[in-house]
A and B are shown apart, each in its own frame.
Chain A
């Protein structure tokens, strides 16, 4: 009898001790989560999470989306390409992420052209940072991008951002910094070119070898997706440094796939992968810097205008 009463007292004491604390914590999480989401995550144009949110939850009629990975993010200067262009490039976005973005764009009642940065490693599936997708997990289409990295706490307010606040805050600051250049979703660091650091990346690149990802079934699915719309799509290969091209062992396979996409009636392929640019236009062997991005974007805009790409539109 006494033991029962003591157990019951302990339970009551435990409840009295823990309950207020847990309630305060829950309240703090519920209040802080939307504040952080709005102020730090969605309010900047730099972070991939803001781009995913913009793609899914905002309507921008007449927008020409530029899709792709960090090479899209850092190579395409929307201001120099078209007044309605917006750069949706997301770091480390491969096939799965780009496909999710394209499918979402194609579901919209829009007839504008679409620009996609294609790379020879497009089908080498890589894991884009889950911080890009956590705030938009409410959309079932986003979940596959998390792969097996999705956890139960990614649905709990505030706790879902554990380990990712750095990313959001860094982007928030970068977006507001006057030292960097931003252009409708695109973001460019303006650090001076360092010959020594660049040479290091070149020698690292020259010591690696990689090729076209052979028989992946996604190759067919991707062509099918591109051909499933009447919206004009420009598939663009942004410049690589010659050291990168030397490391790529099967360029002919990549070229053959580009030709396959080019054969689609709504697709225009513009391959500027080997565009001659001086070393000073590169950040590393895969990415151009702001100078390189400007040079590339001007050439791209000219080529797209030459083929009348921006004048085309799907039949509404």
Chain B
């Protein structure tokens, strides 16, 4: 079920109403059933994959907790293999076999792997990582094993963040399912503001920019430099609004029922360095990779070359997490290179958080650094958006030349001058929304809600799926 669908407009109030009408002991069951309904609205049969992941990690948690030594490690490895195995089959099989066939072909061996003909289950990487974080936390003795199967299933399946995050940690979510919750007007108010702001980002901004981006990136050879540059700028804003919009709706939906999910975005394009960017963009995923990959690899407490190696590995895997394609791997590698270069060029200063360092910089320098960071991030998005690596390289080559006027489609409505102006107006509206406090705590939330609703009705577009569903 899509957050930006009329079905969800009915689904959420019904679930919330039932949630507060039911006694505490039955609420987990309601949420679990609601989550199943929510997920099965996409491709019903894929709930079996979720069920498999849940079963494996539920049992893994219980057997890991009392085990010690080698057995404990073996149970963890079994859980990781099962989770990664699901990912490998459903997400990476076509990519792996295609590249393997090419590799074998280059040494004269012709082999054709069978085509499994399976569609990628929606949000697979998200719930797999969420489930995996549970077994890893139990293994590290930071989380007791959950004995209540229903609650554990709900932890993996909680509908607001099931298909596109935020990827939660068991320490944050599981205790919340146990705690009694009563209706709070403050939660409702803040949750509604958050949902409406997320919808605004999705249907007013992201879905407006999408047609232009799609038209240009579908025909890179036929588009000129200026058009590609504009499409890349639009995609940079589109993906932010699309994904952070989803997170906002997820966080808001959970909050209405009193559940607090972690913030996933903190105005990332205001970052003054790539390092800061990753502290503000898809925070739940970057912290996942930090805690379960980067730090176990040794983090920055190793010799310098090894530190850079750790950074590169982390970002390469992050790229691969996003999609089974070389374009995503290159996107991850680019961010890895940015991070390494950032460390190399980092001036000697107080080792404090990026924000504090930034605040001490003169405003003009901060603006310049933010623009540079934005440019680097936008450049990497070219690989993320392009359908193939050669297309991305062609887009970059053309984008550098800035040649030609604005070639906007073949006079189609989605790419004409009116649409372009509407795109800029939507971006301006987004910029204006940055005048609101980042936590969206405003004095008159109801005024904001009414205004946002009217803006959504008047300027929203029927867009469709969220970009991150494909991951």
Contacts and interface: CB of A to CB of B under 8 A. Distances in A.
Given A14-B188, A25-B454, A201-B410, 14 more contacts: A6-B182, A10-B185, A14-B183, A17-B188, A17-B189, A20-B446, A21-B450, A24-B450, A32-B458, A161-B457, A161-B458, A163-B461, A166-B418, A170-B413
A153 interface: yes
B459 A165 contact: yes
Nearest to B413: A170
Contact of B450 (A6, A28, A197, A283): A28
A162 to B, nearest CB: 5
B185 A21 contact: no
B29 interface: no
A14 B457 CA distance: 24
A170 B454 contact: no
Given A17-B446, A20-B446, A283 B189 contact: no
Interface in A168-183: 170, 173
B337 interface: no
A221 to B, nearest CB: 32
Contacts of B413: 170
A284 interface: yes
Which of the listed residues A6, A166, A173, A197 has the most CB atoms from chain B within 10 Å of its own CB? A166
Interface of A: 6, 10, 13-14, 17, 20-21, 24-25, 28-29, 32, 151-153, 158-159, 161-163, 165-166, 170, 173, 189, 191, 197, 200-201, 283-284
Given A21-B449, A25-B450, A28-B454, A13 B462 contact: no
A201 B459 CA distance: 32
B460 A163 contact: yes
B465 to A, nearest CB: 15
B422 interface: yes
A95 B162 CA distance: 44
A151 B458 contact: no
B364 interface: no
B410 A200 contact: yes
Which of the listed residues A151, A152, A163, A197 has the most CB atoms from chain B within 10 Å of its own CB? A163
B6 interface: yes
Contact of B185 (A13, A25, A32, A197): A13
Contacts of A191: 411
Given A28-B450, A28-B454, A166-B461, A189 B411 contact: yes
Which of the listed residues B189, B418, B419 has the most CB atoms from chain A within 10 Å of its own CB? B418
Contacts of B189: 17
A226 to B, nearest CB: 32
A170 B459 contact: no
